[in-house]
Structure formats: structure tokens, C-alpha cells
A and B are shown apart, each in its own frame.
Chain A
Amino acid sequence: MPAAISIRKLAKSFAPGKQVFSGIDIDVARGSLVALIGANGAGKSTLLRCIPRLIEPSSGDIDVLGQSVTTSARGLRQIRSRIGFVFQKHNLVGRLSALTNVVHGAQGRGYGAAAWSQSLAPRAIRSQALECLDRVGLLAIAGQRADSLSGGQSQRVAIARALMQQPDIVLADEPAASLDPQAGDEVMQLFASLMRKEKKTVVFTSHNLTHALQFADRVIAIGAGRILLDAPADRLKEAELRGLYV
């Protein structure tokens, strides 16, 4: 069985001579949770965004679920629809309800205009969206506007939106970083347990080494434009990882 994500010789530079990273090779096995760590500016977000081509890589190949990530608009949309992306800043549409934001998740699944708003959505989509909100414990606030929610609630709605895609892969860029420690722990706990239960393949970035070791199967550290460390989480110690930042 091919890896869920297969990255070969990936390189990205935003300006000539200023390479963020190069020669990155990573295979992510299906159903595994990978933590991507590294100092500020190491290129974690860039690497994560290259996978669904939110950023165009400079060179290299990326296969997702055995398919090359193409540049054809239709093919790209089809691959993107199978990848949930959770951002550091939840990126919900503030003026719309939590439920509508979750319904949006169905847009990649061929629902198009029917998933623009919960009021247009067919019954099946609305009930799926409610179920996703239920899984993140927010059924009660389905009708509330997204901009009235707390940071932790917003991030849980964003996770529900990703679940609504019924993706095979979920990428999360510092999903807990803008939350207070308590809410951050809760969101990561919820995120990791949902992902494990649904056997999703996950790559998340984090500056929280405890989270990386606690929730991931495998930790990959990047720095100086390359992979510094790639090891199973249960063989690593926090102190060891700390050494990578100096």
C-alpha cells in the first residue's frame, strides 16, 4: 500500500538564493500521526502548505494517496478535498453561523452551491454537519455566529469543518498555538483522539514539545533547510528535542 503522503526531493525558495529547505524526503504511513517541529522560520508552515499546493513548491514531487498532486485545477481540487487543513487562526467566516462554516466542508465533495450555506444545504448535509459539531462537543452553539465564539470553540468548529470533508488526511498548522494552555491542551486532546478514532493520517506542526511527544507516533524536526531528526515519538525525550533549538 502506498504511503498516504510521499514527499521526494522537495525544495522551496521564495526568492533566488534564499532557500527555505531542499532535498526533503518524507513518507507518512496511512493512519499515523506525525508531529513536525522546528524553530521559528524553519519552514514548517511552508512544508505543510506545499502538500495541497497552497504554496507552489520550487521543485520535487509530492504524492498524496498514490496520486501526484497536479496543477490542473480540477485534479487539484479533487486532491484538496481529501485533505483537511486546520490553521493556527481558525479561518472561519465570522459573520456566518458555526453550522454554515461546517457545511462549507462539503464543498470539495461535489456539493457546490448546495454547501454555500446551511440554509441551502440538503437535509443529509445539514445532519452530517450537526453530527460533526456534536463530535467536537459544540452541538449547542450550531446557530451562533462564528465571530461570537471563543478561540477554543472556533478551533473546534474548524476541526469539525475538516471532519465534514470526510478527508483521508488532516494537516494542522499549530492548531493550539493561539489558545491558552488549558484550551490548547483540550483542543489537541480532542483533535488527536478524533483523528485516531477515525484512522486519519495526520501531520501537525507545534512548538509544544509535550504535545508533539504525547500525541504523535513520530516526530520530524526540520532546521537549516533540511530534516534534523526523524524518529518514533516513544523513543524521544523532551530534553533531547530541546537541544534542536539551540
Chain B
Amino acid sequence: MSDNAMPARLERPRILTFVLLIAAAAFVLSSFANSGVSLEKLIRGLPALGRLGSQMFPPSTERLEAVFWSLLQTFQMAVAGTILGLALSLPLAILAAPILSPHPFFVWIVRGLVALFRTVPDLVWAIVFVIAVGLGPAAGVLALMVDTTGFAARFFAEAMEETDKGPREALSALGASRSGVIFSSVIPQALPSMINTSLFSLEKATRGSVVLGLVGAGGIGIELKVSLELFEYDQAATIIISIFLLVLAVERASTWVRSRVL
């Protein structure tokens, strides 16, 4: 084979690609410039960070019991919000999966709704529900429900969409109804992935539940906010450590469940 017949090792970049690359590089540089991070700032901030650290240590054990109860409430909010969100995700996912949806119209509507749930941050949902149902954990649970739905409905729909076509076709061929096809072929096949998503949802909701108190939607966040505002940094340290332990415990437990079930 002659040399000219060989394909080029590198394709010559087209002019448009080149322009886009330059633009992207410029944007990255300006991102650093505009947000004003610098090594100098960081170094100047170090003493303050050190002072904060020393004020946090040793963590206070004064209100350990109160911290424990509000941590429990936080986790219970996460559990309730996750379960409600998962329960809502299942029908939404069925409507959003083109192979299962009764009509393409539902696919678009539901996907739009789920995208809205997902793209609006949970803290914003918490504010919305505090306005709607008042201060307290109920607002937090609703915010976590919506946030979980935005996450889980999407992944449930993808898991269902990826199931093997053969068993589905076999079920329709023998005269099964749409719900028969869904519950005896699609969901059993999608189950491992759906369990995985559910566990991730719980982990995510646990992390999310911690900050909801900042806007008055219940849980330990309010404790953290109050101690920080009163400069009780040793108190804040206790709360942060307990949050860390809770999140870690939930992640560990979920990994364990995953390894047992899947």
C-alpha cells in the first residue's frame, strides 16, 4: 500500500472546532479571574481558619442529648422523604419511559416535570414548602420527596427502558395487559438497578436533610445555624461531627445492603 493511501494519523481540526476550543479556554481562564480565588487570599485566610479550628476544639458535650434527638429527626425526615419520593417515582417513570408510556404526550410532560424537580435545588424546594406548609419537618420531608423524585424517576425510567425486549414481547404475545408486562417482566428485570437508585436516593436525602434546617424546614440544620450565629463553635463542632457520622453510617449501611441484595 502506498503512503498516500494511508489515512492521516490526526485529523486536521476544522476551523469551527478550533474557534470553539479557543472560546472554551478563554472562558475557563475568566472563571478563575472573576471568582477571585488566589493563593494569596488562601494564605491570608489560614490564620482565621486556625483560630476557628482551635475554638471548635474540644467539641462541646453539653447538649449531646438534644443534638442526638435532632439528628434522629433529620434522618427520619430523610427516610420519609425518600420513601414518598420513590413511591412517586415509580408511576412517573412508567409514564416517562417511551416503551411503557400510554402516550408520547405523557413522556414529554413527565420528563419536563421531573427535570424541573431535579434542576431546582432542594434548598429552594424547602423554602417553597416552608411558605406552603409552614416551618418544621413537614416542609423538609416534602422538599426531600420532590428532590428524590427528580433523581429517582429519571433513573427508574432509564432502567426500565434498558430492559430486554424479548421477555416483554413474550408477555404481550400471550395476551398480558400493559400492567402485566410492567410488573412481571419490566420491573423484575429493572429491580437491581432500581434498588441501587433507591439506596443512592437515601444517601442523597440524608446529606440533603442536614441543611434544610437552615431555612427552617426541620432537622439538625437549625441547631448548626444557631450555634454558628452565637459563636458557639465548640457546639457547632459537635453537630458537624455527628452529621459526619450519620452520613457515613448511612453510606456504609447502603453499601452493605447493596452487596447483599445485588
Binding site for B on A (CB under 8 A): 52, 54, 77-85, 87, 89, 91-96, 100, 104-105, 107-109, 112-113, 115-117, 158, 161-162, 165
Contact = CB atoms under 8 A, between A and B. Distances in A.
Interface in B35-50: none
Contacts of B166: 87, 89, 91
Interface of B: 166-167, 169-177, 179-180, 183-185, 188-189, 191-192
Nearest to A103: B184
Residue among B167, B177, B180, B183 with max Cβ neighbours from chain A (10 Å): B167
A105 B176 CA distance: 8
Which A-B residue pairs are the 5 nearest by beta carbons? Answer: A108-B175, A81-B175, A91-B166, A91-B170, A80-B175
Contacts of B184: 93, 96, 100, 104, 107, 115-117
Nearest to B184: A116
Contacts of A161: 170, 174
Contact of A107 (B167, B169, B180): B180
Contacts of A94: 167, 189
B185 to A, nearest CB: 5
Contact of A95 (B179, B183, B191): B191
Residue among A94, A104, A165 with max Cβ neighbours from chain B (10 Å): A104
A224 B60 CA distance: 87
Contacts of A79: 175
Given A93-B185, A94-B189, A95-B191, A78 B175 contact: yes
Contacts of B192: 95
Nearest to A92: B167
Contacts of A158: 170
A54 B184 CA distance: 19
B173 A107 contact: no
13 contacts: A82-B175, A83-B173, A91-B167, A94-B167, A95-B189, A104-B184, A107-B174, A107-B177, A112-B179, A113-B180, A113-B183, A116-B180, A158-B170
B176 to A, nearest CB: 4
Contacts of B188: 93, 95-96
B175 A104 contact: no
A80 B173 contact: yes
Residue among A105, A113, A116 with max Cβ neighbours from chain B (10 Å): A116
